[in-house]
């Protein structure tokens, strides 16, 4: 073990009897805000997001934790959609038919 920052464990935050891992709040604030608004809107308007939120509450999560989990789920879906769009925008390389090539 050296001075390398990768050797360190995540900082813990002791809250009474619960042990929680401190989350990194860094990143793009406008994207984080947009993801939060999407999650809160899904909870308020019902549907798949509200069902997931209710399921997390039933598992014993606090409302704050349930929204955080829903935000993560939303961000995963947004990221997959971005990857799909990027793949669709990439030109596909085709292999020429060997029979169509002139003989050497």
Encoded tokens for 31: 């994207």
Distance CA 55, CA 17 (A): 23
> Which tens digit of pLDDT belongs to each residue from 57-74?
999 999 999 999 999 999
> Which tens digit of pLDDT belongs to each residue from 17-69?
666 666 677 788 899 999 999 999 999 999 999 999 999 999 999 999 999 99
CA 85, 90, 96: angle at the middle one, nearest 5? 140
3-state secondary structure of 26: coil
| Residue 13: strand pairing partners | 20
What is the band of 104 on the pLDDT scale with cuts at 50, 70, 90? low
């Amino acid at each position: 073990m050296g001075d390398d920052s990768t050797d360190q464990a995540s900082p813990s935050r002791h809250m009474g009897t619960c042990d929680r891992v401190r989350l990194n709040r860094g990143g793009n604030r406008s994207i984080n805000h947009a993801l939060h608004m999407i999650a809160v809107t899904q909870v308020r308007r019902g549907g798949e997001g509200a069902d997931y939120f209710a399921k997390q509450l039933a598992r014993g999560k606090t409302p704050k934790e349930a929204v955080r989990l829903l935000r993560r789920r939303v961000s995963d879906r947004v990221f997959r959609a971005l990857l799909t769009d990027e793949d669709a925008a990439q030109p596909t390389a085709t292999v020429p038919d060997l029979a169509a090539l002139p003989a050497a």
